[in-house]
A and B are shown apart, each in its own frame.
Chain A
Amino acid sequence: MKSGDEELVALAQKGDRRAFEELVDRHKQKAYHIAFDFARDREEAKDLSQDAFLKAFMNLKKFDGRSGFYTWFYRILVNVCLDYKRRQKRAPSDEFDETAMKQVEPSHQPAAPIAPDQHVWVGQFSRKVDHALAALPAKQRTAFILKNHQGLSIREIAAMMETAEGTVKVHLHRAVTTLRRSLAEFA
């Protein structure tokens, strides 16, 4: 019989490593994809999602079950990703550089073959989106990524961000407005 997250957490809290590894197996893909949405880089996304699992492992005894493991863990993950973005902003070498960005190939492959002129357009658009997302305030970026990329409900996002649903809606609307303005040149 397949155990629920809470059952596995209870076992892991008693020191059962296999139970924690089962939790990792269940959540690693989603965790990786959220981290990828923040970092937009495969290696960084791998490190960030693994860091989140490590933090969860180290703090498992502090998990009191008031929220679900899913909410608790993804809150840790989002905080790890936001810390990474803050560190990245502080490092001068990581500032946005148009010339350097043009040399970086996106780490993902397009789903279907595309024409060369369209390939150029997609590359430019993708870089512009990366820059526009990175420029968003942390809370707006979090709300936008969790809604637009991950398809979470407003309620789930509010629980992860520990804020009111109305606040999430405001962050989401502001993020969309800013992104529209940033991407207006592609009209």
Chain B
Amino acid sequence: MAQPSRLMANPCAAFEEDLVLMHYGDLSGTELNALQAHVPSCSGCSAYLEELGKLLPLTVKTDEPSQDFWTHYNRELRTKLDDAGAKKSWGEKISELLQVRWVPVFATAAVIALALTFTIGKGIWPSKDNSPEDEAFMEMLPVAENLDFFKSMDVLDDLDLLEFLGNQSNNNA
């Protein structure tokens, strides 16, 4: 492995970025032509280009694992994919239930269930809080309230009758 002999060359500031691209072979057209004309006559730029050529490949750290590594890699990844697949299927089931197209179905079902609960349930499930005596009293209460009302009405009728009789006697006199 060659050691870089000298670092920190001083390229022309205007060409520095393009020199990096030129090193990687990513320069074309007029920029490439301009540099190809400039570099041979500029010691700073040519030294910089040479330095990049020596330094940058040294920064690459290579690793070539054995076949055993890849066998183990495949086995391990397959297990992880199995686990992820199991989690994914549960997640998919839940998210499928929460999809927008199911919302009207759930809403309708909820409304029907509530309606049935209040209509049928009223007759089926007696109130556990009230005793039979209380239930009878509760049924009688509106009737009693009506009786009071009718009594009041009778008094008013009596008053009207008295007034009528008073007026009639005055007329006779």
User: Hey, which bits of chain A sit against chain B, CB under 8 A?
Assistant: 17, 20-21, 24-25, 28, 32-33, 36-37, 40, 42, 45-46, 50, 53-54, 57-58, 106-108, 110-111, 114, 118, 121-122, 125-126, 129-130, 133, 147-149, 153-154, 169-170, 172-173, 176-177, 179-181, 183-184, 186-187
Alpha-carbon separation in the docked complex, A184 to B10 (Å): 13
Kindly identify which residue among B1, B55, B62, B73 contacts A46, using a CB–CB cutoff of 8 Å: B73
Residues of A within 8 A of B1 (CB): 110, 114, 118, 122
Report the minimal beta-carbon distance from A76 to chain B, rounded to whole angstroms: 14
Alpha-carbon separation in the docked complex, A114 to B58 (Å): 15
User: Hey, which bits of chain B sit against chain A, CB under 8 A?
Assistant: 1, 3-8, 16-17, 20-21, 24, 26, 51-52, 55-56, 58-65, 69-70, 73-74, 76-78, 80-81, 84-85, 88
Whether A180 and B8, one on each chain, are in contact in the complex, defined by CB atoms closer than 8 angstroms, is yes
Whether B3 and A121, one on each chain, are in contact in the complex, defined by CB atoms closer than 8 angstroms, is yes
Kindly identify which residue among B17, B61, B74 contacts A106, using a CB–CB cutoff of 8 Å: B61
Whether B61 and A180, one on each chain, are in contact in the complex, defined by CB atoms closer than 8 angstroms, is no
Alpha-carbon separation in the docked complex, A45 to B21 (Å): 28
Whether A187 and B8, one on each chain, are in contact in the complex, defined by CB atoms closer than 8 angstroms, is yes
Whether B56 and A148, one on each chain, are in contact in the complex, defined by CB atoms closer than 8 angstroms, is yes
Kindly identify which residue among B3, B8, B51, B62 contacts A108, using a CB–CB cutoff of 8 Å: B62
Whether A180 and B16, one on each chain, are in contact in the complex, defined by CB atoms closer than 8 angstroms, is no
Whether A54 and B61, one on each chain, are in contact in the complex, defined by CB atoms closer than 8 angstroms, is no
Alpha-carbon separation in the docked complex, A133 to B56 (Å): 12
Residues of A within 8 A of B51 (CB): 180
Alpha-carbon separation in the docked complex, A90 to B78 (Å): 31
Q: A28-B73, A54-B80 are in contact. Are A186 and B4 (CB under 8 A)?
A: yes
Alpha-carbon separation in the docked complex, A111 to B59 (Å): 15
Whether A184 and B61, one on each chain, are in contact in the complex, defined by CB atoms closer than 8 angstroms, is no
